[in-house]
Amino acid sequence: MSTYVTTPIYYVNAMPHLGHAYTTIVTDTYSRFRRLCGDDVRFQTGTDEHGEKIAEAAAKDGISPREYVDKISARFQATWPTLSVAQDYTIRTTDKDHVKTVQDILQQVYDNGDIYFSEYSGHYCQGCERFLTEKELVDGKCPDHQVAPKQISEQNYFFRMSKYQDWLVEHIKANPEYITPERYRNEVLSFLSEPLEDLCISRPTSRLTWGIPLPFDDKFVTYVWFDALINYLTGIGYPNGPDFEKYWSVAEHVIAKDILKPHAIYWPTMIKAMGLPPYKRLHVHGYWNVDETKMSKSIGNVIRPHDLIDAYGVDTVRYFVLREMSFGLDSSFSTEAIIARQNSDLANDLGNLFSRSLTMIVKYADGKVPAPDQDQISESDRELMLALEKMLVTYEQQMQQFNFHKALQAVWEVIGLLNRYIVTNAPWELAKDETQAKRLNNVLYSLAEALRIITLVLRPIMPDAAEKMAVALGLGEALQKATLPEAGKWGGSEVGTAISSPKQLFPRMEKKKEQPKQAQPEQSKKGKKKKEQQITEDGLVTFDQFGKFELRVAEITAADTIPKADRLLKLTVLAPEKRTIVAGIAEHYSPEELIGKQVIIVANLKPAKLRGVLSQGMVLAAKEKLEDGTEKLVLSTVAGSIAPGSRVA
RNA sequence: GGCGAUGUAGCUCAGCUGGUUAGAGCGCACGGCUCAUAUCCGUGGUGUCCGGGGUUCAAGUCCCUGCAUCGCCA
C-alpha cells in the first residue's frame, strides 16, 4: 500500500501560526501512522508565493517579490523541523518545474476548450483579491477590509467549472468519504445544489505581474487557484514522473475549513478537466481559538509555534493539539488547558507509569526483561493483553479516520489500566516473597511488553518522546522499522533485553496564571528585547528627565488634508490654547472621524515646519507592523473625558 | 432571509438503529498504597439530558414547535 498526503501550500504573506502548525502536525502524524502500518508514504507541504498581496508586501519592504518570498518561505521551512515534522518534499509555487507544469496544464485545458475569454465588471477589493458582489458590500465597503472596492471592468480568462458540476455532485454522493468530516461534505453539497459559476483564472499583467504567465496569452498571469492547487500534482512529478501514478491514485489532502471551496469544488473539476482521476479523500479541520476568542493579528493574540515549543516542548504541543481538538470542529487553546494535559495525561499518567515500571524492572529483575511463565498467567494478565489488543484495533480505525483524539483516548485507557494493574499485582509485595518469583516475572514482563506497544503507537503522535521511551526500553533500532501488524502483537519483547533507569519523560508544570514564556504577540517580545538593550547600554531615563516632556490632553476641533502630502493631516487642537499640529496619520484616519477626539500630545516639542505648515507639538500614537508588511496605527488617548490641556504624567 | 449543525455533571465532551438506577476525563472532597515525576489506586453526582407539545408500554435518543449559539449560502 502507498499513501500520499499533503498540507495546503501556505500563503507567504504571514508568519507561521498555530493554525499552520496544527494542519502540518496532523498531516505529519497521519503520514507517520501510515508508515507505521507499513505503507510507502509520500508527505508533501509547501508555500504559495504568487499574487497581488505578495507583490505589495514586497514593494513595501523595498525588496523584490523573489527576495520577499524567499525570506518568508524560509521561515515556514525552518518551523517544520522544530515541530518534529518530517515531510518528504517541500514545494514552492515559484519552482521552475511547477511553473512549467502549470503552463502545460493550462495549455491542455485551453486546447480542450474548457478555458475561454470573457469580459465582466464589478467591485474589486484589493484586500480580498477578488470581485465582491453587490450584496456582500456593507455601506459600500468590503466587510472584511473596511475599504470601498474599486469599480473595475476587466477582460479575463475563465475555467468552465460549471461543465463538471453534475459529475462532481454524483462523485461526492457516491463516495461518502470523499470529503470528511460529514458536516463539510454536506456544506459542499448544499453549495452545489445551486448552479455553479465559471471560475476566473487570470489577471491582466497591467495589474499584476507576480504570477505565472498564461501560455496562450502573455498579457495575463494565472490567478491563484489554478497556480496553487496544481502543486499537488507537480510535487509528485506530474505527468511523467516514475512515482506519479502510484501516489496520485491515493492522494489525500488536509486543509483548514477556510479553503474548503477551492479544494472541494475548484480542484476536483480542474482535475476532471485534465482527465485525471479525482483525489481520494479531503480532510477538513476547524480553527483554533485562543481563550474563547478568534486568533487574529489585530487582537494581537496570534500563537506562534516557536513560543509554544519553547514553553512546553514539541511532544507536549503535538500531543495537546491532537488530543484536544475533535478533528473538524473548532477548539480553544489556552495556557491552562495545555498545562492540564501536560500534568495529568503526560506527567502523571504516562510519564509516571513509565518511570515506576522501569524502576521496578531495574530493582527487581536486575534491569533485564524477565522471562514470563505461561503457567502463572493470572486473570489480570489476561485482561491486560485483551485490552491492548482492543486498543490497537480502535487506535488503527480512529487514526485512519483522522479521529486523533479518540485514538489517544483509547491509548490512555490502557495507560490507566496499567496503573491499576500495578496496584492490583503490587510487585513490591511479590518481591518480598521468594515463592512469588515467577509471578513477579510475569508482572514485570507484562509491563515491559505493554510499554513497548504503547511506545509503538505513540510514535506518530510524539516522535521524540517515543524515541526516548524506546531507548530506555532497550528497543533500539528494531522499533524504527517496526510495523503495527507484526510489532503490535503481544510477546514481542525479547527476554533479557537491558532496561535502563528512566529519565523524566515529562516534567510537571506550575499552574501559574501568567506563563512568562507563553506565547505572546510578537510585538511585546520585540519590546522586551529593546528594553533589555536599553538597560545594558544604560539607556534609562530618570524621573527628572521624563519630567521635561510636557504631555497634555488635546481635543481635536478641526482636521484637514495637506496638499501633496498623502500621509499628513493638519489638526487644530485645544490644549487648552488653540494650536496647529501636523500629524502623519492620514493613511489611518480620515479628517471627519478625528473631530472631537481627545488625544495626547507632546506640548513642548520644538515647533517645526512640515509641508509649509508650522506644527506646534506632536500627537502620540501606537504603531504596529503587521506580518503582511502593512502598518496599523492607533492614536493614544485617555480612558475617559477630561478637560483639554490636562497634564499627562 | 434560505439550508444545516449544535445545545447532556463546575469545565471539555461520549451516548449507534428509542429499553433496567444517563456515562468518561479534568477539577473538587475523603480514604488507601509506597514501585514511581507529592505520582498511583479506591470512594463520592438530588445532572429540569435548552424550553414547550406529541408519538410510544417505554424518549437524552423519533416527530412538531420555540429559544440560544455556530457554520454555509444569499
The pLDDT tens digits for A342-375 are 999 999 999 999 999 999 999 999 999 999 998 8
* Residue A405 appears among annotated catalytic residues: no
Q: How far is the CA of A130 from the C1' of B4 (A)?
A: 27
Q: What is the reported pLDDT for A78?
A: 96
Average pLDDT over residues A552-577: 78
CATH superfamily entry for domain A334-488: Isoleucyl-tRNA Synthetase; Domain 1 (1.10.730.10)
Q: Is A261 a catalytic residue?
A: no
Please tell me the least confidently modeled range out of A197-206, A320-329, A579-588. A579-588
Q: Which residue is nearest to nucleotide B2 (CA to C1')?
A: A190
> Which one of A98, A263, A297, A406 is the catalytic residue?
A297
Nearest in space to A52 (alpha carbons), one of A218, A255, A217, A222: A222
Give the pLDDT mean for A118-145.
Answer: 70
The candidate with the shortest Cα–Cα distance to A204, out of A152, A245, A280, is A152
The residue count for chain A: 649
A20 is an active site residue? yes
The yes-or-no verdict on residue A172 having pLDDT over 50 is yes
Q: How far is the CA of A345 from the C1' of B18 (A)?
A: 36
For residues A616 and A580, the answer to whether their CB atoms sit within 8 Å is yes
Q: Which of A60, A128, A280, A588 is catalytic?
A: A128
Q: CA-to-CA distance for A78 and A85, rounded, in angstroms?
A: 10
- Decide if A17 is catalytic: yes
Residue with CA nearest to B3's C1' atom:
A190
Report percent pLDDT > 70 for chain A. Answer: 87
Measure the CA–CA gap between A218 and A221, rounded to whole angstroms. Answer: 7
Question: Of A37, A53, A98, A142, which is the active-site residue?
Answer: A142
**pLDDT tier at A157, thresholds 50, 70, 90:** very high
What is the overall mean pLDDT for chain A?
Answer: 86
pLDDT digits (tens, 9 = 90+) for A477-516: 777 788 998 899 998 888 999 998 888 999 999 865 433 3
Q: What average pLDDT does the segment A394-415 reach?
A: 92
Q: What is the mean pLDDT of residues A48-67?
A: 92
Rounded, the Å distance between the CA of A123 and C1' of B13 is: 45
- Report helix, strand or coil for A371: coil
- Mapped onto helix, strand or coil, the DSSP state of residue A155 is strand
Q: Of A120, A200, A202, A199, which is closest to residue A153 (Cα–Cα)?
A: A120
Q: Which three cell numbers, joined as nine digits, stand for A324?
A: 484536544
Q: Respond yes or no: is residue A142 known to be catalytic.
A: yes
Answer for the pair A331, A294: CB distance below 8 angstroms, yes or no: no
In terms of pLDDT, which residue wins out, A175 or A141?
A175
Nucleotide with the nearest C1' to A503 CA: B37
Residue A139 backbone class (left: φ over 0; alpha: ψ -120 to 50; beta: rest): left
> What is each CA distance from A495 to A298, A442, A449, in whole angstroms?
59, 11, 10
Confidence of residue A98 (pLDDT cuts 50, 70, 90): very high
The phi and psi torsions of A174 (rounded to 5 degrees) equal -80, -15
Contact yes or no for A64/A89 (Cβ under 8 A): no
How many angstroms separate the CA atoms of A193 and A50, rounded?
Answer: 32
CA distance A25 to A80: 9
pLDDT exceeds cutoff 70 at A524? no
Beta-bridged to residue A647, according to DSSP, are A552
Q: What 3-state DSSP class applies to A178?
A: coil
At A507, phi and psi to the nearest 5? -75, 155
Average pLDDT of the residues in A54-60: 91
Nucleotide nearest A355, CA–C1', reads B36
Q: Closest residue by Cα to the C1' atom of nucleotide B26?
A: A340
Rounded to the nearest 10°, the torsion over CA A453, A457, A460, A463 is: -30
In A235-376, alpha helices (H): 244-248, 260-261, 267-274, 305-312, 314-324, 335-340, 352-364
**Which of A71, A173, A294, A511 is flagged as catalytic?**
A294
* Residues A214, A299 contacting (CB under 8 angstroms): no
Gap from A256 CA to B59 C1', Å: 37
pLDDT band with cut points at 50, 70 and 90 for residue A612 = low
Q: Residue A455 carries which side chain, given as an amino acid letter?
A: T
3-state helix, strand, coil in chain A (%, to 5): 45, 20, 35
Closest nt to A187 (CA→C1')? B72
Least confident of A93-102, A280-289, A448-457, A539-548: A539-548
CA-to-C1' span, A386 to B20 (A) = 28
Contact A32, A460 (CB under 8 A): yes
Quick check: A418 pLDDT over 60?
A: yes
Q: Are A580 and A615 in contact (CB under 8 A)?
A: yes
**Residue A39 predicted with pLDDT over 80:** yes
> Which of the four pLDDT bands, split at 50, 70 and 90, describes residue A259?
very high
| Strand B nucleotides where any atom sits below 7 Å of a protein CB | 2-5, 13-14, 25-27, 32-37, 39-42, 71-74
* Mean pLDDT along residues A207-235: 93
Residue of A527 and A584 predicted with greater confidence = A584
Q: What are phi and psi of A428, to 5 degrees?
A: -65, -25
The larger pLDDT score, comparing residue A177 to residue A215, is at A215
How many Å from the CA of A413 to C1' of B15? 18
A530 CA vs B7 C1’ separation (Å):
48
CB under 7 Å from strand B: A 135, 183, 186-187, 190-191, 194, 257, 261, 326, 329, 331, 340, 343-344, 347-352, 354-356, 359-360, 363, 416, 419-420, 422-423, 426-428, 504-508
Q: Which three cell numbers stand for residue A326?
A: 475533535
Q: Which band of pLDDT confidence, cut at 50, 70 and 90, is reported for residue A130?
A: low
End-to-end CA, chain A: 71
Using CA atoms, how far apart are residues A273 and A280, in angstroms rounded to an integer?
A: 17
pLDDT band at A207 (very low <50, low <70, confident <90, very high): confident
Our answer to whether residue A306 is catalytic in this structure is no
Average pLDDT over every residue of A41-68: 94
Cross-strand bridge partners of residue A91: A46
Rounded distance between C-alpha atoms, residue A607 and residue A610, angstroms: 10
Picking from A65-69, A107-111, A584-588, which range would have the lowest pLDDT averaged per residue?
A: A584-588
How far apart, in whole angstroms, are the C-alpha atoms of residue A209 and residue A56? 11
Cβ partners under 8 Å of residue A61, min gap 6? A68, A629
From the list A100, A145, A511, A529, the catalytic residue is A145
Candidates A20, A253, A263, A272; catalytic one: A20
Q: Which of A98, A123, A125, A406 is catalytic?
A: A125
In the predicted structure, residue A243 carries a pLDDT above the cut 90: yes
- Range among A9-18, A103-112, A507-516, A595-604 with highest mean pLDDT value: A103-112
pLDDT of A625: 61
Q: What pLDDT does residue A538 have?
A: 31
In Å, what is the separation between the CA of A329 and the C1' of B46? 34
One-letter identity of residue A611? R
The pLDDT of A159-177, averaged and rounded, is 92
Domain ranges of chain A: 2-285, 334-488, 529-635
Q: What is the predicted pLDDT for the residue at A297? A: 75
The CATH number of A2-285, from 3.40.50.620, 3.30.420.40, 3.40.50.11810, 3.60.15.10, is 3.40.50.620
Q: Give me the pLDDT at residue A142, please.
A: 66
pLDDT at A294: 80
Residue A646, helix vs strand vs coil: coil
Is the pLDDT assigned to residue A626 strictly greater than 70?
Answer: no
Provide the edge-to-edge strand list for the sheet that holds A331-333: A293-294, A288-290, A331-333
Nucleotide nearest to A418 (CA to C1'): B40
Annotated active-site residue A125? The verdict is yes
Query: Comparing C-alpha atoms, which of A320, A385, A52 is closest to residue A204?
Result: A52
Average pLDDT over residues A284-301: 82
Residue A198 clears pLDDT 80, i.e. is over it: yes
Q: Hey, what amino acid is at A387?
A: A
- The verdict on whether A263 is a catalytic residue reads no
Please report, rounded to whole angstroms, the spatial distance between the CA atom of protein residue A514 and the C1' atom of nucleotide B24.
30
Euclidean distance between CA atoms A219 and A207, whole angstroms: 10
Considering the domain A529-635, what is its CATH architecture? Beta Barrel (2.40)
Q: Which three cell numbers stand for residue A531?
A: 528594553
ipTM of the complex: 0.92
Residue A448 CA to residue A648 CA, distance in Å, equals 68
Residue A573: how many other CB atoms lie within 10 Å? 30
For residue A270, pLDDT beyond 80:
yes
Angle between helices A437-458 and A352-364 (to 10 degrees): 140
Pairing of strands A281-285, A251-256: parallel
Is pTM, for the whole model, over 0.90? Answer: no
Residue nearest to nucleotide B12 (CA to C1'): A324
User: Are the C-beta atoms of residues A180 and A71 closer than 8 Å to each other?
Assistant: no
Nucleotide nearest to A416 (CA to C1'): B40
CA–C1' A384–B23 (A)? 23
pLDDT in tens, A461-487: 999 999 999 999 999 777 778 899 889
Whether A255 contacts A285, CB under 8 Å: yes
Nucleotide nearest to A505 (CA to C1'): B37
